[in-house]
Amino acid sequence: MVDRVELYYLPPSHYCVSAERMLAFKGVRPKITYAPYNDRSELLRRTGQDYVPTLIWNGKAVPWQDVPGFLDRVRPDPSLVPPGLDGVARTLENWGHQVLEERVWRAVVTQVPKTLRTEVERWVFEEMQTRSRGPWHVLKGRRPEFVRDLMEYFSFVDEMVQDKEWILGPPSLADFGIYGGLSPWMLVGEKIPARFKGLRAWAARVEAF
């Protein structure tokens, strides 16, 4: 029987991008259902919660934090965690989502509204980000500073992939977590600077699954 797979997805979400790339690595092409920033009523009705990404696999809802382990259970080959490197892979995945992504997000947050679909969604996004991060005009004015800070973190990842295709040998959770953290930069139309050759080549490989 063919598995019925659906992914509730919002493009600016680093966790959504990471989950979609893990699925692609496993050879799974889900139905992508857009989950608007301002309206998760359909997702809430179907699953009782409103976080994205949410994976629906043959009618079963899998919350974002359980996606890697679930995929390795239902599609064990290839594994997301190289043998003996479980702790390293999960630590690097966490760094991608919690540390790298925050630097990326500060640099792109005022550019994200143009990637959303409706005026209402864009208004709600700006309002919520202003509440948590401060005045919008200040965020815009500080963007050059945030971009300069981000370049140091690009260099960290560039060094991780120097002279190798993947961070831990084979493709792993580390690659997909860190790529997810980087993804809002590309979403808003920015390119990885040419001086980060290893990072650019590695990102292209992750995108190619």
> Do residue 58 and residue 92 come from a single domain?
no
User: How many domains does one find in the chain?
Assistant: 2
Q: Which of 74, 98, 132 is the last residue of a domain?
A: 74
Q: 132-152 burial, b for 16+ CB within 10 Å, e for fewer?
A: eeeeeeebeeebeebbeebee
Strands 54-57 and 5-9: antiparallel
Bond from prior residue into 135 cis (ω within 30 degrees of 0): no
> Do residue 197 and residue 135 come from a single domain?
yes
Mean pLDDT of 130-134: 96
How do residues 64-95 score in pLDDT, each as one tens digit? 999 999 999 999 999 999 999 999 999 999 99
- The confidence score (pLDDT) of residue 1 equals 65
Structure tokens at 10: 């919002």
How do residues 149-167 score in pLDDT, each as one tens digit? 999 999 999 999 999 999 9
Mean pLDDT of 122-150: 97
CATH assignment of the domain containing 191 = 1.20.1050.10
Question: pTM for this structure?
Answer: 0.96
- The confidence score (pLDDT) of residue 3 equals 85
pLDDT at residue 171 greater than cutoff 80: yes
Question: Taking the CA of residue 185 as centre, how many other CA atoms within 13 Å lie in the half-sphere pointing to its CB?
Answer: 24
Bridge partners, residue 31, by sequence: 6
In a domain, 19, yes or no: yes
Domain hosting residue 11, numbered range: 5-74
In a domain, 28, yes or no: yes
Q: Nearest to residue 37, comparing CAs of 16, 59, 62, 23?
A: 16
- The confidence score (pLDDT) of residue 152 equals 98
Q: Which of 74, 108, 126 is the last residue of a domain?
A: 74
CATH assignment of the domain containing 32 = 3.40.30.10
Q: Nearest to residue 6, comparing CAs of 30, 34, 42?
A: 30
> Do residue 120 and residue 184 come from a single domain?
yes
d(CA 114, CA 32): 20
